[in-house]
Amino acid sequence: MSRRTIEFAAIGAMMAGTLLAQTRKEYRFNVGPTAGVSVNNPYGSISVKPSPGNTVVVNAVLASDKVEVDSNQNGNRVDIQSHLLPGATEESGHVDYEILVPPDASVSLHSTTGPLRAERLHGDMTLEGAAALVDVRDVSNAHVHVKTLNGPVTLTNVFEGHVEVDSLSGAITLNRVNGPLVQVVSTSGGISYTGDFGDSGEYRLTSHSGDIEATVPEYTSADVSARSVKGEVRDDIPLQPKTHTWFPVKEGRAFMGTMGKAAVSSTVVLRTFSGKIHLRKRAEK
Amino acid sequence: MNCVELRKSLAEIETGGSAEQQAHLKSCPECSALVADLNLLAAAAVKLRAAHEPSPRVWNSIEIALRQEGLVHPPHAGRSLIPSFSSRWAWARWMVPAAAALLIAVGVYVRQQSTPVQLTSNTARPAVSATASDLGVAGLNDDDLLQEVSEQMPAMKAECIDNLRRVNQYIEDAKSDLAANPNDEDARRSLLEAYQQKAMLFELAMDRSLP
């Protein structure tokens, strides 16, 4: 037997051993309308998608016997907890969850490492994790709350709800996110918005030192104010200037004005202390 | 020892029992049978708890009956504003009210800054408070956080220090901006947001450092 064959056999045995050490578990819960589902998973991913009926289905893959899944249903509320046993590490305590919930369920996901994913839901959701990548897409009529320290955050096709994102240093990307309130705060993370600031909402994108870039179509209706104390500010879209301003509008450091139809406009505040701000016009196809 | 005395002292039998009790049990079949039955019940009860836990439906039925009698009330609809903490979080529960107190202190500070200051030749504008004193009101400071992180997850200490540096700079810059533009509502709001970022750092950094 050649040396290469032996190496392949050893690698295969190690992989098989790893797979064997994993445990798969499934849990099912019948719930009523607007159920509450919370998942606390220190190490590992949580992915939430809609289920066809009034059932919460939890599929968990446990990395080792150093972690167990505690599940509890109390009326219309389901709580899932990854319970780390003595001696558990980030690797041995790793659990990956794939969860199906009724679309109107309220969801609370918590994982230090993540990633955290939610899609095609319209119940309120909270996603928190120090280093977790957060990805929310195709959500409507829901309050979306996101908190990370350095995990990147991406929201795509989120409509008609309140959106609040707090990320210390993670990059935040909003693609087609509209609603009565969209608020993003970061200390050093960059913020990128692509959309039309619709729904006559209040949009506030703030970063202390990260750059803020907003790309909008020409038909956008919004009262826009942008200011950077120390960074450069650029505006590619002509604005009707305001006659009264509540802060000094210094050339290159701030701009304020109205784009589109003032009567149906949203309020947009772009603010950074030392980052750059760029309001760009979306290239029409 | 007679039968009455023995039955009064049954608890001691679990730990071995005295010579008197043992002697009585040897001579009294009724007391001996009683002790044997009690031991059997105790052993069976442990197994029963594990194997025959009432189904959730039983508890739901009990809850419904209690509500109908007005002895319990249904929980408020919607999400709780306060996350539940498992027992392993118990020692960190002080973080929640402390973070809330921090935000209240921030709100008071920001409101004080929004009050127009009438400058006269004899009036000195009060100096902007240092972040440490603001946090001292809430009982939080950076050293507490770093100590907790060092003890629970030393590998994260460097990252925590860097995060603290960034967020403290945010707070200082926001204070300076507000001091320069006291009528700027956005500047006031930026300061509040800076403090909220720090409160979030405390919250999530502690969460990360927990096993």
Indicate yes or no: CB of A271 within 8 angstroms of CB of B190: yes
Which positions in chain A touch B166 (Cβ < 8 Å)? 168-169, 187-188, 208-209
Mean pLDDT of chain B: 68
Same domain, yes or no: B94 and B175: yes
Q: Per mean pLDDT, which range of A161-175, B1-15, B131-145 is the poorest?
A: B131-145
Closest CA of chain A from B139, distance in Å: 22
Q: Per mean pLDDT, which range of A25-29, A219-223, B61-65 is the poorest?
A: B61-65
Which positions in chain B touch A186 (Cβ < 8 Å)? 197
Q: Euclidean distance between the first and final Cα of chain B, in Å?
A: 55
Q: Tell me the residues of B at the A interface, defined by beta carbons under 8 Å apart.
A: 56, 60, 75, 78-79, 83-84, 86, 159, 163, 166-167, 169-170, 173-174, 177, 181, 183-187, 190, 193-194, 196-197, 200-201, 203-205, 207-208, 210-211
Same domain, yes or no: B93 and B176: yes
Looking at beta carbons, which pairs linking A20-23 to residues 24 or more positions away fall under 8 Å? A21/A63, A21/A64, A21/A65, A22/A61, A22/A62, A22/A63, A22/A64, A23/A61, A23/A62, A23/A65
Closest chain A residue to B191 measured between Cα atoms? A208
Same domain, yes or no: B110 and B30: no
Let me know if residue B78 belongs to a domain: no
In the predicted model, is pLDDT for residue A122 greater than 70?
Answer: yes
Read off the tokens for A99.
């969860």
Looking at residue A102, what is its pLDDT?
A: 97
- For chain A, the C-alpha Rg in angstroms (whole number) is 23
Alpha helix positions (H), B52-128: 56-68, 95-114
Looking at residue B74, what is its pLDDT?
A: 52
pLDDT tens profile A142-200: 999 999 999 999 999 999 999 999 999 999 999 999 999 999 999 999 999 999 998 78
* CB atoms near residue B144 (< 10 Å): 15
Segment A33-40 mean pLDDT: 96
**Confidence bin at A233 (pLDDT 50/70/90):** very high
Q: How far is B64 from B62, CA to CA, in rounded Å?
A: 5
Same domain, yes or no: B95 and B196: yes
Name the residue among A128, A187, A273 with its Cβ closest to that of B197: A187
Let me know if residue B19 belongs to a domain: yes
From the candidates A149, A153, A186, which should be mutated to test the interface with B, based on the most B CB atoms within 10 A?
A149
Looking at residue A120, what is its pLDDT?
A: 97
pLDDT tens profile A201-220: 999 999 999 999 999 998 88
Same domain, yes or no: B14 and B41: yes
Supply the CATH number for residue B139's domain: 1.20.120
In the predicted model, is pLDDT for residue A268 greater than 90?
Answer: yes
Which positions in chain A touch B170 (Cβ < 8 Å)? 187, 208-209, 273
Query: Domain residues for B15?
Result: 3-68
How many structural domains does chain B have? 2
Token pair 């369920």: residue: A105
**Confidence bin at B63 (pLDDT 50/70/90):** low
Same domain, yes or no: B15 and B47: yes
Closest chain B residue to A166 measured between Cα atoms? B197
Q: Per mean pLDDT, which range of A242-246, B10-14, B121-125 is the poorest?
A: B121-125
Looking at residue B100, what is its pLDDT?
A: 57
**Confidence bin at B150 (pLDDT 50/70/90):** confident
Give the single-character DSSP code of B173: H
Let me know if residue B166 belongs to a domain: yes
